[in-house]
Every structure is written in structure tokens, then in C-alpha cells.
Amino acid sequence: MVKPINILDSDYIQWIKELGSRYRRSQIKAAIKVNEQMLRFYWELGRDIVVKKAESKWGSGFMKCLSRDLKAENPDATCFSQTNLLYMKNFYLLYQPYTEITPQVGEQFTQQVVEQFTPQVVEKIKNDLVSVPWGHHRYLIDKFLDFPQKALFFVRQTVENGWSRDVLLNFISTDLYERQGKAITNFKRTLPDETSDLAQELTKDPYNFAFTGVTGKYNERLLKESLLNNITNFLIELGTGFAYVGKEYRIQVGERENFIDLLFYNLNLSCYVVIEVKIGKFEFADIGQLGGYVVACNHILRREGRDNPTIGLLICKEKDRVQAQYALESSSQPISISEFDLEKFYPEKVEGTIPTIEEIESKLKNIDLV
């Protein structure tokens, strides 16, 4: 009987791990490639149906006939049902305005918008479309056939954040399109051009804190504790890329101890994010307190050459927009002001939208989380 070999050499063990990781990555890449080719075919078939005006040319029974003949031509294929063929047609129609800027399509947009559709932008849109699973597209077609701008927004979010179908449906149901990037901020004035737009996009207004289960009377401590007790949902609502650093994070300024209520690090922006939650109406004094924390983080925590300027997010129960705008004009620190809502609810399946352990470790390995 041949004795099995058991190699304990550390280099060999590490090599085996690397091979396993490389194999899994190759499987994922192969699956993505298959999905891309399939979606390109669906797009082209949908385009053919539209361009050939097939339904008008060959009559009302065309889809049924096409389904039958394609199944006969490809007996092993399972994608040629009448329903799926209609989805392919609508797949093309939904995104046509963003992928084929013809004179007719261009009439739907202002000249400024048309000028933004450079060949590079159009190619990026096409690549995003074939990077999203077909099941996601069917939901988007059902929901937004008459609202291509919303559908494209969720396509981009899915690609950037790796959303599962459940998470996509979750964010559709919470009006993310209407809330994303809508906070009042001074980012254009206080942040470099290359990061101000990204920072604006990470904001929401209002934030949905219904997952906390807080009802009736509550104070700020209870709400903050509830947010952290539901940290997964909290991170999801904040957006992909947020890593939790600490609650009541101690920071020494001169001879005085200060405690930042909630401190995060955003991996996409490579910066600290200070969050203050206020259960009352926004007041001018709130900006002074938050701005002081932002400055302290820049002096004490921010690593020169590695971290971008710290950002402050003020989330309150109610705000007067004019007062909020005036307050932001008075501050030299990048700050946003939003409201929160306790009334909407999320589905239970929320995995897939927070940073992976590997992402957090790679960005924060040199940060002292104390």
C-alpha cells in the first residue's frame, strides 16, 4: 500500500492556496465571459427585431413563430420562449437612447447631454449592460421600461457594488434613485474636483433608518446604539465601501479629550468619514461641532499622501434647507446635511453590499482602530 504524501512545507501550502484562488478566479471570469456573450446576443436579437420592424412586417403571430423556429434551429437552447424574446426586444429599446445617439434619439436630450455621450462613455455603458445578470435586467425592464435613466442608474450601481438580485430589489423599493447624492453639501467648494462628485454620490437624503426598529420616544444614544446593533443594515444604507472604525472614538485635542460619535472609513474615497446623528431639527451649532471633529481627524488620523480629506455627514430628523445652506457656506470643511426616516422597511436579504474582509484589510491594515 502506497503511503499518502503529506507535505507540510510552508511554501508548498501557500502555493496550493494560491492555485486554489487562481482557479476560483478563472471560474468566475469564465462565467462572466459567458454572461457577456449571451447578453450581447440578446441585445443584437432585440435590435434585429426592432430594426427589421419584424412584428409589423410579419404580423401579430411573429413572436410565436420566431420562438418556434429558433427552438427548432437550436434544440438544446432554453432561452427562446416568447416571453424571453419580448424581454430581448425591450432590453434593446430600454437602453437604445444611451447606446445609439442617432438624430432621432438625440431629440430626447438637450445638446449638453448629447455632448456628454462620447464614444468612451457609450462603450462604458455597453460594457456595464453586459456585466449585469439577465435576471437583474428582466426586473429592471419590468420596472423601468419607460424610465431608462433610472434603469441605467441601477445598472451602474449593480456593477459598482456587485449587488445580488435581492439587494437590487431592496434598493429599488427604498427609492434609492430619488435619494442618492441628494444631500445638501459644500463638497464642490471644499474638495478637489476629482473627488467632489464621488463624495456627493455617497450621500443620501433622507437616510432610511427603519431597520433600527426604533419607535415612540427615543434619544440620540438609543438611536445610535440601535444603528450599531444593526451594523450590517447601517453599512448597507450608508453605501458600499464604508468600514466601521468606532463609536465614541476618543481623540485627544490639546489637553482635552473628545469623543467622535461615529467614525467610519470609506474605501472608495480613501478618507475618514465622521457621522453625527441628531434626533432634532438642524441647528447652526451642529456644523461647528462636526467641523471641529473633521479638522481633528485630518490632523491626527489622516495619513499624508494616502488619505484624502476627512468628510463630515450630519444626519438630522429635520432641516430647513436655507438654514442648512447658509451653515455650509460658513464652513471650510467638507460637510453634508441630510435627514433620516424611520418609517420604511427593508427585506431580510441584505448580503453583498458591505466591503469584503479582504477589501477592508487591504485598505486599513495600517490604521490603528482604537
- Residue-wise DSSP of 109-172: S-HHHHHH--HHHHHHHHHHHTTS-HHHHHHHHHHHTT-HHHHHHHHHHHHHHT--HHHHHHHH
HSE-up (13 A, CA, CB side) for residue 220: 14
Q: What are phi and psi of 306, to 5 degrees?
A: -120, -40
DSSP element (H, E) containing 316: strand 311-318
Segment 327-338 mean pLDDT: 96
Question: One-letter amino acid identity for 224?
Answer: K
List of residues 6+ apart from 323 with CB closer than 8 A: 282, 284
Q: Which has the closest alpha carbon to 157: 78, 239, 85?
A: 239
**Rounded CA gap, 35 and 37, in Å?**
6
- Residues facing residue 262 across a β-bridge: 247, 275
Cell numbers for 223: 438611536
Q: What is the pLDDT of residue 217?
A: 85
Segment 208-233 mean pLDDT: 90
Q: Which residue has the higher pLDDT, 167 or 189?
A: 189
pLDDT over 70 at 352, yes or no: no
Q: What is the pLDDT of residue 164?
A: 86
pLDDT in tens, 69-93: 999 998 888 999 999 999 999 999 9
Segment 208-235 mean pLDDT: 90
pLDDT in tens, 27-57: 666 766 788 889 999 999 999 999 999 999 8
Segment 277-302 mean pLDDT: 95
Contact between residue 237 and residue 207 where contact means Cβ atoms under 8 Å apart: yes
pLDDT over 90 at 118, yes or no: no
- Strand bridging mode 335-341 / 311-318: parallel
Segment 346-354 mean pLDDT: 47
Instruction: Render the burial of 231-257: b for 16+ CB within 10 Å, e for the rest.
Output: eebbbbbbbbbbbbbbeebebeeeeee
Q: How far is CA 186 from the centre of its chain?
A: 22
Task: Please give the radius of gyration of the chain, using alpha carbons only, rounded to the nearest integer.
Answer: 25
Q: Which residue has the higher pLDDT, 154 or 163?
A: 154
Straight-line distance from the first to the last Cα atom of the chain, in angstroms, rounded to the nearest whole number: 56
**Rounded CA gap, 78 and 86, in Å?**
15
Q: How many percent of the chain have pLDDT more than 90?
A: 56
HSE-up (13 A, CA, CB side) for residue 285: 3
Q: How far is CA 43 from CA 51, 93, 100, 142, 162, in A?
A: 12, 9, 13, 16, 22
Q: Which residue has the higher pLDDT, 347 or 260?
A: 260
Cell numbers for 335: 460637510
Instruction: Render the burial of 55-86: b for 16+ CB within 10 Å, e for the rest.
Output: eeeeeeebbeebbeeeeeeeeeeebbeeebbe
Question: One-letter amino acid identity for 109?
Answer: F
Q: How many percent of the chain have pLDDT more than 70?
A: 81
**Rounded CA gap, 78 and 362, in Å?**
42
Residue 206's pLDDT band (cuts 50, 70, 90): very high
Q: What is the pLDDT of residue 7?
A: 59
Q: What is the pLDDT of residue 349?
A: 44
pLDDT over 60 at 106, yes or no: no
Query: What are the structural domains of the chain?
Result: 30-161 (no CATH), 179-364 (3.40.1350.10)
Contact between residue 308 and residue 190 where contact means Cβ atoms under 8 Å apart: no
Cell numbers for 95: 437602453
Q: What is the pLDDT of residue 355?
A: 57
Q: Which has the closest alpha carbon to 201: 241, 172, 260?
A: 241
Q: Which residue has the higher pLDDT, 22 or 250?
A: 250
**Other CB atoms within 10 A of residue 318 CB:** 12
pLDDT over 80 at 153, yes or no: yes
pLDDT over 60 at 369, yes or no: no
Q: What is the pLDDT of residue 347?
A: 44
pLDDT over 80 at 178, yes or no: yes
